[in-house]
Amino acid sequence: MNIPFFSFDKMQLNCKDEIKEEVGKVIDSNWYVLGKRLFEFEKVFAKYSQTTYALGVGNGMDALLLSLLALGIGKGDEVIVPAHTFIATFMAVTQTGAIPVPVDVASETANINPNLIEKSISKNTKAIIPVHLYGASCNMEEILTVAKKYNLKVIEDNAQAVGGTFKGKKTGSFGDVNATSFYPIKNLGALGDAGGITTNNLDIYQKIQKIRNYGSSEKYVHDRVGVNSRMDEIQAAVLSVKLKYLDEWNRDREKIAEIYWENLNLIGDLKLFASNKYQFSVNHIFAIRSKKRDELQTFLQKNGIETLIHYPIPPHLQKAYFELGYKKGNFPIAEEIAKTVLSLPIYPGLKSSEQDYIIKTIRNFFEKS
Ligand SMILES: Cc1ncc(COP(=O)(O)O)c(C=O)c1O
């Protein structure tokens, strides 16, 4: 059997014809940037996200960057980020001129450990970026409590968790402003790069409308310095179609995750990341941990099963962040996760025979080793 890490097949089957029709309409409209399709998508995405406003931008990293800029974060400021995340969370902060300050994650969840945030706050700290990693929400209650105590802004990095909830409320609706990614293999994926921002704050919304469009809301009049980061009409049309299927696709992922849980927990030295009853995880990534990760990955590969590692080197140990001055051992949980974590195939359309084969092969590995 050959099982890829990810496949679009089922999702395409659900909506390819509809997408082709909608994209056809965009082509015929003669209008491709900042138009009707984007504004329609922003309306439905805001409603879906339980926020007043949504904005479509170029990609997920820009969504974070524009959110930070709209909050006035820049040179000399510090922003708390989890030590285990995709590099974009760090780089968006760096792009503003501010400094990312990593906080270690909790071993059970791989998300920022709210108990460790307080001791990393300095007089320069302006904001916290909780990342809902692998699709499971952070404990937003605890994070908002710390933020309130120190008067810090909160920007959720919801790139991996669109459709998820914490205590019944959508991720991406808790922060002052929130960012997400519609990179193709995200749970809600465009057919190219795209990103989204959600907020309940009119001032932030209006600022981002300008920042994404050269600091302008009137043609050739520029009130501030901005960037060019606008979701185009084709991606907006694609996402409007796909959004209708998102909850169904997330439920498919949930079923697959449940089967992994039932069959892999307590096999060999495997550890799984716990969700709790307050969360609906959208299972963007199904990550397992083992000290024998590298051998397990090779074994799976030899048996036709593709896996990935999210992520093998924590941002604070990347060459790009050498200047921050961190070294091995600074964030032990994040470093341990980077050494042991492995992501298994999970996507709508993964067949139960394929999942059985993945589980059987993993069990085989641990029986032999
Ligand atoms: C946690 C996280 N934040 C931000 C991003 C950036 O999104 P994009 O790739 O759309 O720029 C990603 C994308 O993989 C991500 O996983």
Tens of pLDDT, residue by residue over 150-190, are 999 999 999 999 999 999 999 999 999 999 999 999 999 99
How close is the Cα of 213 to the center of ligand 1, in Å? 21
Cβ(183) – ligand 1 distance below 6 Å: yes
Q: Is 59 in the pocket of ligand 1 (CB under 6 A)?
A: yes
**Cα dist from 120 to 19, 71, 117, 278, 304, whole Å:** 46, 20, 6, 26, 44
Ligand 1 site-directed mutation target among 57, 61, 112, 132, most atoms within 8 Å of CB: 61
How close is the Cα of 157 to the center of ligand 1, in Å? Answer: 8
Q: Cα of 342 to ligand 1 centre, how many Å? A: 18
Longest distance between any two alpha carbons in the chain, whole Å: 69
The pLDDT-based confidence of 276 (bands split at 50, 70, 90) is confident
Nearest atom within ligand 1 for CA of residue 131 = 1
The model's confidence at residue 277, banded by pLDDT at 50, 70 and 90, is: confident
Ligand 1 atom with the smallest distance to the CA of 62 is: 11
pLDDT-derived band at 369, boundaries 50, 70, 90: confident
CATH of 246-368, one of 3.40.630.30, 3.90.1150.10, 3.40.50.300, 3.40.50.2020: 3.90.1150.10
State pTM to two decimals: 0.98
Q: How far apart are CA 24 and CA 203, in angstroms?
A: 35
Residue 54 CB less than 6 A away from ligand 1: no
The alpha helices in the chain, defined as continuous H runs, are 9-29, 36-49, 60-70, 87-96, 114-117, 140-149, 202-211, 233-243, 246-264, 293-302, 332-340, 352-368
Tell which residue, 321, 262, 305, has the closest CA to residue 5: 305
pLDDT over 70, % of the chain? 100
Look at residue 275 and tell me whether its pLDDT is greater than 80. Answer: no
Which class would CATH give 9-103+111-243? alpha beta
Domain ranges of the chain: 9-103+111-243, 246-368
